[in-house]
Amino acid sequence: MNSWNEGYFTDSTYTYGYYRELSPNFMRWCLLVNGIAAPEITAESCHCELGFGQGLSANIHAAATPGKFFGTDFNPAHAAQAKEMATASGADAHFFEDSFDEFAKRDDLPQFDSIGFHGVWTWISAENRRHMLEVARQHLKSGGMVYNSYNCLPGWAPAAPLRELLTLYDKNFHGNGNTKERVQAAIKFIQEMIDAEPAYLQIAPSFKPVFENIKKNNPDYIAHEYLNLDWDLMYFSDVAELSQEAKLDFATQAVPIDGAAFHLSQKAQDFLNKISNPIVREQLADYFTRRQFRKDLYVRGIRRLPPPEVIDKILSTRYVLLIPAAEVSMNVNTEQGNLKLAEAAYRPFVEYLAEDNHRPKDLLEYAERNNVSTRNVIEMVRVLTFVDRVMPCQSKAAVNLVKKNCDRLNAHLCERAKFNESISFLASPLTGCGFNVNRVAQLFLAQYKGGVKTADRLADEALKILTQGGQQILFNGKPLENPEDNIKHLRTLAERFLTRDLPIYKALLIA
């Protein structure tokens, strides 16, 4: 093992994940709806991401948010990818391959308005966690915000023995295999152990179903999640206590509304509401919800806003609907279970947001037009944002600042889509966040911007690109072997692109 990686799994690069919670705009809005002040985002703002992986989130946010972006990931392959995307977008982004210790000691860093680290905390050593907090202690502005996500206890307790077995086998028997082979060998080993019926299964009935879920994941994800030397599960209260050493106060979860609360019994809610200490209450809630992964926001000096100011700011923000109104189900699946929305209240609101080809709208007009209380309208937009059907928008001035960077980054990503499907997000200057656009849609989008406007021609051009790359077209998970079936399927997708997707891409200023 190379000494530079400090036990982190580096035999393969990480996946191209995108996480809206790392967006300074989304962080800020989550604080706002929970009544907490956050820095205004301007052309002078500075933001940072620690452990940015392949750099997709960092680059989308650097392109789509006013200000400067900094970040580090000590994997050289990750840093190279991030720098390539930053060059393509032209954003004011500065990405390094420093360790967290080296990054904390740099003398050329500004004071940051926001710092984010997603999925890093659990998989590094205690020493590196201290270095991350040192970055915040030295370089976060007063009133600045920090996002931290991590695997937490007690929810992850059932999976801990499985992780121990995966690393035990890999450490002792993996040899020189590649990532996929190593993961498959470890999975096969555990399956054989389960088939031998160890007595442990009698006291841990969740062991087998947890293992079955792990097996479904991408081998690269399994390797980075489970095969690191460090994998420290922590309770929320312990993370909050460590964070206070960097003058970081827990503010709220990085969600518009706590979805778990919808699924708690009245008895559970009554019990939690009796707990006056916010840290204790938050920790106890993890027991009630079996939460496994926390998404937390901290602030350096929390300032509570007066309720009238909070309401005014939420109402004056514009919002955009991310899918056609007819596709917004009133039965929403969340991590905690099914959420049933009130049709009579939500359907007219969704249709309002869809008016004029999804033009961004504020909430005050709807409240006045339909004689709905502002409290109810705010509740609906928080829930719809929680389930990723609606997103808050940036100011028009911010949009103008970042539009060219987003266009350049998106053109670069669409060009990459000719060769592989690893990246399925583009940058929206409207929201300051990424938006899911699959590979075929990216091919269509590039052709459309180049002047191809009909479904037949879009399908023909996409087929040329895919066949030149020797790649098969899948339908319902199976390859289409017949050339006529290929073009027919692509034409169907192209018609959907023109009629269903394109109006939304235009609203998001992606098209």
How do residues 330-352 score in pLDDT, each as one tens digit?
Answer: 998 776 678 899 999 999 999 99
**How far is C-alpha 189 from the geometric centre of its chain's CA atoms?**
32
DSSP one-letter string for 466-508: HHHTT-PPEETTEE--SHHHHHHHHHHHHHHIIIIIHHHHHHT
C-alpha–C-alpha distance, residues 221 and 510, integer Å: 29
- pLDDT-wise least confident of 2-16, 90-104, 148-162: 2-16
To the nearest whole number, what is the mean pLDDT of the chain?
91
For residues 225 and 162, the answer to whether their CB atoms sit within 8 Å is no
3-state secondary structure 227-292: CCCCCCCEEHHHHHHHHHCCCCEEEEECCCCCHHHHHCCHHHHHHHHCCCCHHHHHHHHHHHHCCC
State the DSSP H helix or E strand holding residue 131, giving kind and residue range, or none if neither: helix 126-139
How do residues 278-324 score in pLDDT, each as one tens digit?
Answer: 999 999 999 998 899 999 999 999 999 999 999 999 999 999 999 99
The pLDDT > 90 percentage for the chain reads 74
C-alpha–C-alpha distance, residues 419 and 445, integer Å: 15
Residue 325 is given by DSSP the state: G
DSSP one-letter string for 357-401: HH--B-SHHHHHHHT--HHHHHHHHHHHHHTTSEEE---HHHHHH
Beta strands in 109-236 (DSSP E): 112-117, 140-153, 234-235
How do residues 458-504 score in pLDDT, each as one tens digit?
Answer: 999 999 998 886 676 766 666 666 777 888 989 999 999 999 999 99
The HSE-up count of residue 28 (CA atoms within 13 Å, CB side) is: 24
List all residues 6 or more positions away from 42 whose beta carbon is below 8 Å from its beta carbon.
66, 67
Residue 2 pLDDT grade (very low, low, confident, very high; cuts 50, 70, 90): very low
Collapsing DSSP to helix, strand or coil, 150 comes out as strand
Collapsing DSSP to helix, strand or coil, 26 comes out as helix
Main-chain dihedrals φ then ψ at residue 38, nearest 5 degrees: -140, 160
Residue 7: pLDDT over 70: no
Superfamily of domain 3-155+233-299: Vaccinia Virus protein VP39 (3.40.50.150)
Burial class (CB in 10 A: 0-12, 13-18, 19+), 72: buried
Tell me the mean pLDDT in the region 383-398: 96
Domain parsing of the chain, residue ranges: 3-155+233-299, 159-226, 318-392, 400-507
State the DSSP H helix or E strand holding residue 334, giving kind and residue range, or none if neither: strand 331-334
Placement of tokens 């999804």 in the chain: 358
C-alpha–C-alpha distance, residues 148 and 254, integer Å: 9
Residue 12 pLDDT grade (very low, low, confident, very high; cuts 50, 70, 90): very low
How do residues 431-449 score in pLDDT, each as one tens digit?
Answer: 999 999 999 999 999 999 9
